[in-house]
C-alpha cells in the first residue's frame, strides 16, 4: 500500500504550526524544511513545506497562501487512554484556539481536533440502549469530554 501523508495547508505559518504540534505530542520531530526558490510563487527563501512526525505519523505543512482555510469537515482524532491525556491535549491544543463541543476543538491555526477517551466507544455502544443514550446525551452537553461524568450519566447517576 502506498504511504499516505496528510498535507496541511497554511497561509504563512506552516513552520510555526509544525513546531507547535511537535511540542504537543511525544516522540515527534520536524524532519525536513524546504523553501521557495526564485521561481516563486511566494518570496524566495520563504518556507514552502515542513515535513514532521507526530508520534510516528507523517504530516506535511505547506505555506500555500490565503486561498484555503481549515474547516470541521476534516479533523484529527486523538484517542486518549484516560482523563489525564484528554486534559493534556485539550489544554495544549485549545491554548490560543477555541473549544467547540463533544470533544472537538479548533487550535490556534484553525485545525480541528477531536480529543476522545478510548472508553467513549464502549459507553456509546453499550448493549443496554438506555445506558448508551444517557452517555450520548451527556457527551452532547460537553465541550471537553469528562470520563467520570460520562460513566455517571451512563449509570443514571
86 backbone dihedrals φ, ψ, rounded to 5°: -55, -50
Q: What are the pLDDT digits (tens) for 76-96?
A: 999 999 999 999 999 999 999
CA angle 46, 47, 49 (to 5 degrees): 150
Query: pLDDT confidence of 142, banded at 50, 70, 90?
Result: very high
Over residues 13-34, mean pLDDT? 98
Distance from C-alpha of 13 to C-alpha of 63, rounded to nearest angstrom: 7
Residue 148: other Cβ atoms inside 10 A: 8
* 95 and 113 Cβ atoms separated by less than 8 Å: no
Q: What is the pTM of this model?
A: 0.94
pLDDT at 157 over 90: no
Delimit the domains of the chain by residue range: 1-67, 70-157
Distance from C-alpha of 5 to C-alpha of 8, rounded to nearest angstrom: 10
Q: Identify the pLDDT of residue 6.
A: 97
Q: Identify the pLDDT of residue 130.
A: 98
Distance from C-alpha of 69 to C-alpha of 9, rounded to nearest angstrom: 7
| 1-67 fold | 3.30.720
Residue with cell 497554511: 10
| Domain 70-157 coded CATH 3.40.50.300 | no
Amino acid at each position: 500500500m502506498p504511504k499516505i501523508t496528510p498535507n496541511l495547508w497554511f497561509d504563512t505559518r506552516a513552520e510555526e504550526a509544525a513546531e507547535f504540534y511537535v511540542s504537543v505530542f511525544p516522540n515527534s520531530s520536524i524532519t525536513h524544511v524546504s523553501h521557495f526558490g526564485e521561481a516563486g510563487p511566494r518570496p524566495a527563501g520563504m518556507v514552502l513545506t515542513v515535513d514532521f512526525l507526530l508520534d510516528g505519523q507523517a504530516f506535511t505543512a505547506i505555506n500555500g497562501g490565503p486561498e484555503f482555510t481549515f474547516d470541521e469537515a476534516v479533523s484529527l482524532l486523538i484517542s486518549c487512554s484516560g482523563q489525564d491525556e484528554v486534559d493534556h491535549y485539550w489544554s495544549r491544543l485549545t491554548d490560543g484556539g477555541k473549544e467547540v463541543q463533544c470533544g472537538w476543538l479548533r487550535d490556534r491555526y484553525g485545525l480541528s481536533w477531536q480529543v476522545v477517551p478510548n472508553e467513549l466507544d464502549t459507553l456509546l455502544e453499550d448493549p443496554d440502549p438506555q445506558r448508551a443514550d444517557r452517555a450520548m446525551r451527556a457527551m452532547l452537553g460537553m465541550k471537553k469530554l469528562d470520563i467520570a461524568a460520562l460513566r455517571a450519566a451512563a449509570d443514571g447517576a
